[in-house]
Structure formats: C-alpha cells, structure tokens
Structure 1
C-alpha cells in the first residue's frame, strides 16, 4: 500500500510553474532587496552564506502559538538551483523547527519551483493549525507575491 504525499502531515509540498527563467527566479530567492518584496520584513538581511542568521517579522497568530518573529538560518544552497533554510519561532515557548527548501528546475523557457516545508509535529494541534495556515499561504499569498516581484524584475 502506498501513501499519498499529501497525507504526510509533517510536510508541505508545493510544485509551481513560473514563466520566468531559473536565473531570474534565483535572484528573487536570494537577492535581499528582492526577497524583502515578497517574503516578510527582515528578509532584506538575508545573505547567501551557509550559517548566516537573520530575523523576519509577520503578524502573530495566537491560535498556532506563532509569536510573529521568525529566526532564520541558511542551511545549504546549490547556486542557481537549491536553497534550504531553517525557520524557528523566536519565542522559545513555541518549539518549531522547520526546514524550507526551494528547488528550481528549468522547464521550457520557465522554471518549475518546488517548495518543501518540513518539520511539522502532527501530534501538536497548534502546529497542525500552523500547517493549514502556511499551506494556504505558500500556495496563495506568497507565490502570488513572488510572481509580482518576478513580473517587475527586468
């Protein structure tokens, strides 16, 4: 018996085609001033350097115990192809430890963007609430904002 990847409550997987070349998408993922346009405030402190740490802010979500502050650390990257970061809530009372990995693949004249957001605890109701919110956020608001940034980018 095989399991549907969507049944894995520990992860969010997004597969999105973007009508822009991989180099342009990579710029939006890794150039601080572009990243800040579509992600959270604080992303302008990003550096493409393993071990680099920065902090982003957003709206607190008490129903998921999210403080509104994300501590981020760059875990790994393969220039032009993959970026992996760790997200942790700045509030130690919310013990989230998530890994977000972006992978780019050329597809025709565009890019197939894969996002894997992993580390959700299916036994923690607040993390399952966070997973539901973030699943919709990645697929809706965030990818739309990324698309708008790419459209404006020359």
Structure 2
C-alpha cells in the first residue's frame, strides 16, 4: 500500500477517495487500459460498455449477475489525459499525467457513503495492482483481500473512532462478516429476547449489567444499562464485505463512552478478521 498517496476527504455531504499509482508506460498505453472494454474486463470490477465521448452511455455488468446491470454516463473524455464517468450515484475520474517515459494515474472516486471508504480503497488497490500487471504484459495474479487490506485502510482513514453528537456517541463501521455471523459471535450462541440479560459480547467495560429492551436477530439489539445509559446495536447492509454496524450510546459522559466502546469494537473487528482469514 502507498499511504502517502491514498487520501479520503469529506465535504458537502460527499466523500472523495484519491489514489495515485505510477506505471512505467506512456499515457497512450494507460489510456487504452482504462477505456477499452476488452482491457477493462481484465482488471475493472465489472464488464463495461462505453460510448467514449462526453454524454456517452455506459453499462456495467458484474459477471454471474442476472439482469441488465447498472448504467452510467461519460462526463469527460480527453484522450489521453482524462476519462471520467458517473456510475450509479458515484463519480469516477481517471487522470493520466506523463512522468518521464512513464505515467502517473490518479483515480478520484466520489461517493456518498463515507464509512464505505475502506471497502472502496481496498477494492481499487487490488484493481490497480491487476492493471499494473496487464500493462506489464503479465498474467493477472492478485489474491483476494481476506480483510487485512480493508482494515489497514480503515485505520489509515480513521473511520473507526466514533463521533460525539451531544450526549450521544455514534460509531459506524463496515465489518468483514455478514450480520448473522457477527450476531452469533456476540451472542455466543445464546438466545436473546426482550427482558433477558444482555449477552456479554454486546457489552463493554462499565456497561456489563442491563436488560434487553429490543431484540431482532440479526438486525437489532438495544439495552438499558444498570447505570441508565441506552446502548443500541444495529446491523444493516454494507458494501459487500459484510454487515454495516451502527452503534449508539446515549446518557453517559460521551468521551468516556467513546473510549470504552471504541476498544470493544476494535476487539470485535480483530476477532472478525481472524474468522475472515481462517
């Protein structure tokens, strides 16, 4: 990974991931690799059809998926410097700059889901590795990420620290396992019902005692701690890596709550990484 070259910035409700990679190939070769459907099919996440002009139509189809796939629109096509397009609600911009006999490729991916940034970065990291192999006329040989790359980007982009919103602390984190597997890990195989004691996996230091107020496996568990704080775990759809966790804690000194629950979530994430890598 190239930490100094990969950045995640947020503004106006949108997030921009910027990734830069250098290749020992002229801009014309890189341009062909990022615009020609036959070459894109070897490294891009989906099969692509494209009308290569501003306003041109694009189609995206993932191998093995039924249905028509997604559509997009070309926003920029300036050979061999800039190729940009809309993909659903996202925007991707590829800029190619000459550097000696080679090129600098800059990808700017703009999207709305800030907490999906680590998933997008780890995915593009592997895609750009495959692109480099294609440009070098080598067979594509890229191992799928078992979670280490995803978690490294999550730490690099500081996406797991939690946010204080008044008296509430809110964590949102992309996990590496589906909701059913995360729930099983937290509940340790025990049934969870309203009014029952809270399984220890759903607790953190200073929040060990309490009773369940809501339970809907594997989507929601809420409980009122014995000291009065309300803790709420929610698991929803994520980016394809696993479930999206949203954890909120209300009623405690938010700085203390953030510290306690950050440690608990990091422990959970490490355990899920072990399971994903097994």
Number of equivalences: 127
Greater C-alpha Rg: 2
5+ long unaligned stretches in structure 2: 1-5, 64-68, 139-278
Superposed displacement of residue 22, structure 1: 0.8
**Alpha-carbon deviations, 1:37-79, whole Å to 9, x = none?**
2113421x223122222322338xxxxxxxxx43221111211
Aligned 8 A contact 1:42 1:57 in 2: yes
Q: Which has the higher contact order (CA 8 A, sep 6+)?
A: 1
The answer to whether 1:132 aligns with 2:118 is: yes
RMSD: 2.6
Structure 1 residue aligned with 2:129, among 144, 149, 152?
144
Change (3 A) 1:120 1:42: same
Superposed displacement of residue 13, structure 1: 0.3
Q: Partner residue of 1:53?
A: 57
The answer to whether 1:103 aligns with 2:109 is: no
TM-score by length of 1: 0.72
Q: Indicate the SS of the match to 2:7.
A: helix
Q: Partner residue of 1:29?
A: 34
Change (3 A) 1:56 1:110: same
Q: Partner residue of 1:71?
A: 71
Q: Report runs of 4+ in structure 1 exceeding 6 Å deviation.
A: none
The answer to whether 1:8 aligns with 2:13 is: no
